A and B are shown apart, each in its own frame.
Chain A
Amino acid sequence: MNMIALLRQLAEALLAVALAPLLAGWVAQCRAWLQNRSAPSLLQPYRKLRKLFHKDAVLAEHASPLFRITPYVVFGTMVLAAAIIPSVTTDMPFARVADAIALVGLFATARVFMALAAMDIGTAFGTLGARREMMVGFLAEPALLMVLFNAFLMYGSTALPTVVHGALAAHGLILRPSLAFAGVAFVMVLLAENGRIPIDNPTTHLELTMIHEAMLLEYSALHLALMEWAAWLKLFNYACIGFALFAPWGIALHADTTSPLLLALALLLLKLAVAGGALAVIETVSAKLRVFRAPEFLSTAFLLAVLGILVHLQLRS
């Protein structure tokens, strides 16, 4: 039994690892369509990974060990996060290891390592990227936590599985205005955290605007591959967090039989498709902000989340 649970756990993590590039590809495709460009293949990300894994790694001559282990750490944290987030089923042994707060902590760990690695080489861009990434980070993190606290106040738990249980336990449609606030806030945070327009532009290398890419400038080959993959995983994870909080429908509460799992998987794919499309739309209709508009953007998110909490507390009584 326990063995099986472990296997299930493993399977889910692998699923995330496998699906993440697909999601990225899907978003890219949608964007291309929306912008009337001929879309790249859905499998483009996989090809990119293969290509990178075949290149020779090029390292700065004074790169420290920190620089080299960072890709593994970042990738590792993302996989771990994927294992914790209930994407298909809530019934997983590892989910108890870390609750939502620890999850945020994990993301923070990845970010800090990335920033440190970016500073390691000591180029202008590396430090610039690190600085901006940390700036976005310290604004996005609290906002995300506030979103999670919304859920906590509703379901009395920061453990995502419990949250999902709580959400699904409520039969019928229950309108929760506070969740609306939280949802908007979450989307904004998601955009910022994953280097999406309007905060950052994953496709640009236009020096002065980039954040995430600036940190990766010195990476190549396998390291770059891991970093990219980690980034896609992060997007995937955020999406799954979003589903768990706002659209938990279909997540299997008990995984002893296979049918609910299959259903959950199907629904997950559906949700991902929709979310990816929505993301593409947002990115298409909105323009990139100047770096110093980012704080305003994120503090708005923060504000919305807190408002959500207050509204909840007010309506509860």
Chain B
Amino acid sequence: MTYLPFAYPLPALITLIAAWLVLGMLGLLQPQRVGWVARMLFPLGALVALGVAAVAVSALRAGFTPQVLVLPLGLPDLPFHLRLDALSGFFLMLLGIAGAGISIFAAGYFRRGEGTSPGLLGLQYHVFLASMALVVLADDAYLFMLAWETMALSSYFLVTSQHRIAEIRRAGFIYLLMAHIGALSILLCFGALHGGNWTMTFDAMRGASLSPAWADVAFCLALFGFGAKAGLFPVHIWLPEAHPAAPSPVSAMMSGLMLKTAIYGLLRVSMDLMHTGPWWWGLVTMLIGLFTALFGVVFAAVQTDMKRLLAYSSIENIGLIIAAVGLALLARSFDMNLLAALALAAALIHAFNHALFKSLLFLATGSVLHATGERNLGKLGGLIRYMPWVAMLALVGTLAIAGLPPLNGFVSEWLLLQAFLSTPAIPHSFINMIVPLGAAAVALTAALAGYVMVKFYGVIFLGQPREAQLERAHDAGVLERIGLAWLALGCILIGVFPQVALDAAASVTRALTGAAVQRGGTIWWIAPVSPAQASYSGLWLLAGLLGVVAVVFVIVRLFYHGRVRRVPPWDCGYRWLTPRMQDTAEGFGQPIRRIFGPFFRIEREVPAPDDAQPHYAIRIEDRTWRAIYAPITATVRRLADAVAVLQRGRLAVYLLYSFLTLIVLLMFVI
């Protein structure tokens, strides 16, 4: 490790981040030339991302001492503090690895004439990346907030890059507003955290001793603020609006990377900056997380827009991660460090996995969008024949996000379940009763995720094309394929060598909980608690599966005569078989709609039996809109109308105000 960037990781990272910004600036030289911006700068950006990941990994070695750096910027008495420790290292690694894939894909993705000019887009894109990296590295409240809001701002501009479309503007507005509210609450959280001594560096906060009341306030503010960014229920509403509105690489970054910064923030504040809190912190967090997960997946199942579907699925995954964090906090409050470490590891690894497969899927939808110009599931289908590459790589992502062995999604869910199963040791009967239900919720969510993903993949790529023009769809370009393949490879590798991910997480858990889940012996085993309790080997599973399949294949080939006829499928006795006979997206989601009816606000339009042109329409709404947000908006409007009474244009009345103000204030003095 004498190699220079690893000897001085922080300066190296700063340089790389600066390189991102420079690349963004360079884009403005010839903002209209896609060749220059996309084909030239974005691949470089991807290289930088790889560099970031490489340096970050070095921070995950066992026995790595946190590095601190102070830049001569920022407030006069609060210069920018940066710190690279295991936690930030882990999230930087996530950022770098997934970011590289996305950048490569984006290099092939961006075209001219789509809203903002490529150069500007490139600038916002790289500022977005850089700000996320800074969020993770920040070691004082000011720099953190600065990077945090810059992140929100740049992503806002990326979301609204096609600002001519009304609902994209709306999505952008909601997004920025929620982001701002969340940021304010985080800011106040820091305001509470410094605990009397006015130094706002994280180091000072670690040292500060808070009264229980202030600690509770700070935690709730943090949970709300970071939850608003992560998309926790009920402050999730911006997410399904903003993610579909953005260009696909941006959706991938927001879903895959930006949401993770919220997880990072919550971990940093609740487990690093603050001391161990009361058990209800963990419980509340866990319950909110679980409900969010269930909520997200149920809504994902009934979506008809492929990107909205993925957005809701992001809500689900975030919910699972937060639930794991909550479990970790819970265990921590009972000083069960090993359990805390296990839950935390599950959270971290799931965050990493989600970054990989969610980016992969969003990018795939991007390719589909470019190939077909369709986002509506009802107008897609059968693309596996026209874009085999995307289909194949998307399949990996689909299986991974569905949590199927031997891919990575399963690993983290497995760890999460193991963590939930270890809770009966908690010395608190009430929690003992609740947590198994949590395990049940996780199981249900995971199973529903499978349902959702079958719908996603099946409706887009399988079956017959639902529209004629889909047959002209073309496969993605080389750069896009590389990007997708990179992420898919990540999904497979982590699935097959879970121990690697576990080791990476271990250094974080050691730093935050003081414990680490034990190695499962060799590299292809994980047995977090003990081999007797549970063990899993993705590699052997894959090997076994492939082996059996191969053997069966060979045997069949040996004994089977191998005659295969290609014929039109059976048309069930009709005269012909049209694509419209397949399930629509709505149709596929119908069971969920029936079973989870209370979740939704459904408006149906059922045609009359004697209708000449029968038309069936269904709209499914999120209840939170009417339950929470509509009333708030209405109240603000009413108040806005109310205050207007104060200003009716009568000069005499205005003078009266001054007069009364004078009198009232005088009353105070005498």
Contact = CB atoms under 8 A, between A and B. Distances in A.
Q: In the complex, is A directly touching B at CB under 8 Å?
A: yes
Contacts of A120: 384, 458, 462-463
B264 interface: no
A122 B405 contact: no
B606 interface: no
A268 interface: no
A123 B447 contact: no
Contacts of A116: 454, 457-458, 462
Main secondary structure of the interface of B (DSSP, over half): helix
B454 A217 contact: no
Interface in B553-612: 553, 556, 559-561, 563-572, 577, 579, 581-583, 587-588, 590-591, 594-595
Range of interface residues on chain B?
35 or more
Contacts of A138: 444, 447-448, 450-451
A79 B548 CA distance: 7
Interface in A302-317: 302, 306, 309-310, 313, 316-317
Interface centre among A112, A132, A162, A306 (most CB of B within 10 A): A112
Contact of A97 (B540, B563, B579): B540
B587 A131 contact: yes
Given A97-B544, A313-B436, A105 B447 contact: no
B594 A119 contact: no
A69 B446 CA distance: 25
Contact of A96 (B448, B537, B568, B583): B537
A284 B424 CA distance: 41
A75 B548 CA distance: 8
Interface in A38-81: 53-54, 56-64, 66, 69, 72-73, 75-77, 79-80
Contacts of B583: 119, 124, 127-128, 130-131
B450 A112 contact: yes
A131 B537 contact: no
B418 interface: yes
A159 interface: yes
A316 to B, nearest CB: 8
B7 interface: no
A217 B545 CA distance: 25
B651 to A, nearest CB: 69
Interface stretch (A18-26, A149-157, A251-259): A149-157
Contacts of B581: 123-124
B536 A60 contact: no
Contacts of A98: 405, 536-537, 541
A134 B541 contact: no
B115 to A, nearest CB: 34
Nearest to A217: B570
Contacts of B437: 306
A125 interface: yes
A99 B545 CA distance: 15
A306 B440 CA distance: 8
A246 interface: no
B399 interface: yes
A111 interface: yes
Nearest to B596: A295
Nearest to A305: B440
B421 A127 contact: no
Contacts of B534: 99, 101, 157-159
A73 B560 CA distance: 18
A213 to B, nearest CB: 13
B455 to A, nearest CB: 8
A97 B221 CA distance: 43
Contacts of B405: 98, 102, 105-106, 109
B433 A94 contact: no
Interface in A84-126: 94, 96-99, 101-102, 105-106, 108-109, 111-112, 115-116, 119-126
A67 to B, nearest CB: 9
Contacts of B571: 123
B193 interface: no
B653 interface: no
Contacts of B564: 56-59
Contacts of B433: 310, 313
Interface stretch (A139-147, A196-204, A269-277): A139-147
A119 B567 contact: no
Contact of A53 (B541, B560, B590): B560
Interface in B294-345: none
Contacts of B553: 72
Contacts of A128: 583
B464 interface: yes
Which of B446, B457, B459, B594: most chain A Cβ within 10 A? B446
A231 B556 CA distance: 18
B537 A122 contact: no
A19 B165 CA distance: 62
B552 A123 contact: no
A73 B180 CA distance: 49
A226 B453 CA distance: 25
A127 B588 contact: yes
Contacts of A124: 572, 581-583
A317 B429 contact: yes
A98 B548 CA distance: 16
Nearest to B595: A295
Given A83-B544, A96-B531, A112-B450, A122 B588 contact: no
B29 interface: no
A62 B464 CA distance: 8
B559 to A, nearest CB: 7
A135 to B, nearest CB: 4
B404 A112 contact: yes
A162 B533 contact: yes
Given A109-B404, A149-B436, A153-B424, A127 B463 contact: yes
Contacts of B464: 62, 122
Given A80-B545, A101-B417, A127-B463, A313 B432 contact: yes
A18 B567 CA distance: 33
Contacts of B385: 62, 64
A316 B424 CA distance: 10
A97 B541 contact: yes
Contacts of B439: 145-146, 149
Contacts of A63: 566
Contact of B447 (A56, A131, A141): A141
Contacts of A80: 541, 544-545, 548
Contacts of A58: 564-565, 567
B240 interface: no
B549 A76 contact: yes
A248 interface: no
B568 A60 contact: yes
B458 A123 contact: no
Contacts of A146: 439-440, 443
B540 A77 contact: no
A241 interface: no
Contacts of A302: 440
B443 A145 contact: yes
Given A57-B563, A102-B414, A295-B595, A119 B458 contact: yes
A137 interface: yes
A66 B595 contact: no
Nearest to B407: A109
B56 interface: no
A233 to B, nearest CB: 11
B300 to A, nearest CB: 12
Contact of B462 (A66, A99, A158): A66
B418 A158 contact: yes
13 contacts: A59-B564, A72-B553, A112-B454, A122-B462, A124-B572, A131-B587, A138-B444, A145-B439, A153-B424, A157-B534, A158-B533, A295-B594, A313-B429
The 9 closest A-B pairs by CB, nearest first: A122-B463, A119-B458, A142-B443, A138-B447, A127-B583, A122-B464, A60-B569, A141-B447, A76-B548
Given A98-B537, A105-B404, A123-B581, 4 more contacts: A80-B544, A97-B540, A112-B402, A119-B458
